[in-house]
Structure 1
Amino acid sequence: MNQQRHLSYPAAIAIVSLIFFAWGGMTSLNDVLIPHLKAVFAMNYAQTMLIQFTFFGAYFLMSLPSGSIVSRLGYKPSIVIGLLTAAVGALLFYPAAKLPSYGVFLTALFVLASGITLLQVAANPYISLLGNPATSHSRLNLAQALNSLGTTVFPFFIGPLILSGAVLGTEQLAAMTPEALATYRTAQAQSVQVPYVLLAAGLVLMAVLVFALRIPPLREATDAADGRHHTYAEALRRPHLRWGVLAIFLYVGAEVSIGSFLINYMAMPDIGGLSEATASRYLVWYWGGAMVGRFIGAALMTVVDARKLLALFAVVAAVLLAITMGSKGSIALWSVLAIGLFNSIMFPTIFTSAIEGMGPLTGKASSLLVMAIVGGAVIPLAQGALADHIGIQAAFFLPLACYAYIAWYGLHGSRLGVQALPHDAVQTPVRAMH
């Protein structure tokens, strides 16, 4: 590769990291859409949860097609297509609000999430391949930290624009005349139009930027590298990838499970005795801890073996869960909140470990890993069933078991098969940064 014809690796990393920031922010806006659309369409919670079901369903359904796109076209074109697809989804919010139609809102959300899925499949491995392989874990952790920053910033600045009108309760809506109710719902629905049109414009600008600024194509790590059509079964023959797919499934499941139960857990009389409103403010310690931990982790991984650090953080998370399961009061409360700090490095470190040495199979491997994010839907459901029978505190045994597996993966599973890969597969597609 003639690097003089392309942007330097640091410049390319900065551009792609901006994309991580953007998709993190768009994902977090779902938390704003849920109460907003619930009020607009007077829905129950089950109907409103179709927002999350639709969004995360796109990860499951679109990951394999996204992997095929990356394998055939390469990373840069796939990132451009992902940005433009997400922009189309954001633009569809305009007619959805104009109608207004919940079905069109869900369609818009699915298209938006499909674009983000392609970005996940393309950008995660791309940024890990940009530069010295020894620091790939650190680069992806830093990019994921900016992703977490987006999840914090977008709701703070864009959320008030969407929720600009007063959200009325069921009794207030019931007291309105049909004409007043229709006017209210139309005004509420249309408050999403300007924010999402602006988001669409920003996504198009980023797509133009990526297309115009000759970022390194890295086609060596796609099917185009050897002219062969590789299969997902071929990728799954690598043990460290197989165990990595399971590790992503269990990690995302554990993280989402703990977060989903935190408010109810902290409201328990023998834990925190907090009101739900007060308990919700404590969530910043859990999710904010993950953001801070990724910045710290990115620095630590320049001097500490990433796999060992992953195992250590998983063990600490498991110990904190054991403490919260066996204690009461403030110790139980703060030990579970502290897990967020140690969750921080897990997703990016598992991801980079799982795609190591995959060569032309990297695109296929990435799509399988992104598909495993569906663990965020499955594990919380299983923990909920446990909590109904044995209580929330005892049900934390399930994520504890997930962290135990992740510790094993960091020490052993992530190394299985890496050294046994054929010589042409373990060739690093990008040389160290000069």
Structure 2
Amino acid sequence: MRRLFKVLLPVLILAMGVGAFQILKSTKSEQASPTVQERIWRVEVEPVERITASPQLELYGRVETPDLLRAAASAAAWVAEVRVQDGDVVAEGEVLLRLDERDFRPRIAQVEAEIADLEAQIASEKNRAETDRRALEQERRLLQLARDAVARQQRLKTQQVGAEQALDDAKRSEAQQQLVVSNREMAIADHPSRLRGLEARLASTEARRAELQLELERATIRAPYEGIVTGVEVTEGDQVSKGEVLVRLYATERLEVRARIPAPYQDELIAAATQGIALRARAMIGGESLTLRFDRLAGEADPSGVDALFEVEGEPGLVRFGQLLSVTLERPLREALIEVPFRAVYGSNRLYVVEDGRMHGIDVEPLGTRLGARGEERLLVRSDELEPGDALVTTHMPNAVEGLRVEIIGAEAADDAAGETGR
């Protein structure tokens, strides 16, 4: 009996536990399933407005000039005087530097002496030619007399009166006089050649004198135009060689800015230049705005783009040669553009508008930037899907997706919500 009780007790306890579980399960209260509510995100919007504007293009340029003077020494000399230093603003005609004139004048004096000698030789040659012409007349008469003497001796010999020796002497005299006349005629014939040779030497020496006088004139270096000195390479007492650069200067009125135009905008700029459209640009320098005007494109391009050259229309004193500038180019006018803040852009070309309380994504074509009414930089885009009055989301949402439920906030939230339209 006791053994039977030990066997049935565990079974009884297990049955009581199962029964209690069933009673608790059947008496449990029913709970309603929780409902999931969709979260609503609050965003700011601004109405879409189509405008006609000039997209801006940010460029980086360098100040250059086609009139960069590198004044060099006209000849080997000593530097006598330096009147300017780097950074000086000089007027047209102002003396910059002088070379010692004593290094130039002895060479000029030597050439002038050569010219005087050649002029004397030319005068002597002309006198000689005149003397030869006069002497030739006399020598021809003497030749005729010698010929007459030969003829007379031949007659006498024929008459067997004259001697053979006398006839030979007469012929000898005739031959000698003939040689004298031939030499005189040759001297007269050579006179033009000798004269041209002397005159050529004289012209060469005079050209040399003009060259030396020009070197002397250029020993005093003056500013050819109003400009700014960019460097002085010598000081007083230096000895310089011919062609050595002494001072550098550029014209303030011929400054220009060279900036690289990216390849995607190259055709647009060429078309504007071909059509004669005046394109303006500006650069900010120390709080001052410098106005630039597109002048021309560089003659050489590469796959990255082409250089554009801008004339400085503002105050040229604001910039210096070689200065780097950030340039804002006003591109040609475009119609049907939409101006949006950068915070409204996702990626590089996607915006969101509010439709029926949800965000709807639209791909757009970025066309450039420009400064807004408050001075902030805004993006100009174009899209046929955007209509005037659409509520453009300007709050940047990190979790922005198509169909995200949103609520418009702001001072014009009520008007904006009432103006939402479906597509």
Query: Shorter-chain-normalised TM-score: which range?
Result: under 0.3
Q: Which has the higher strand share?
A: 2
Q: Return the index of the structure with the highest Cα Rg.
A: 2
Task: Name the TM-score, length of structure 1 as normaliser.
Answer: 0.17
Q: TM-score, normalised by structure 2?
A: 0.18
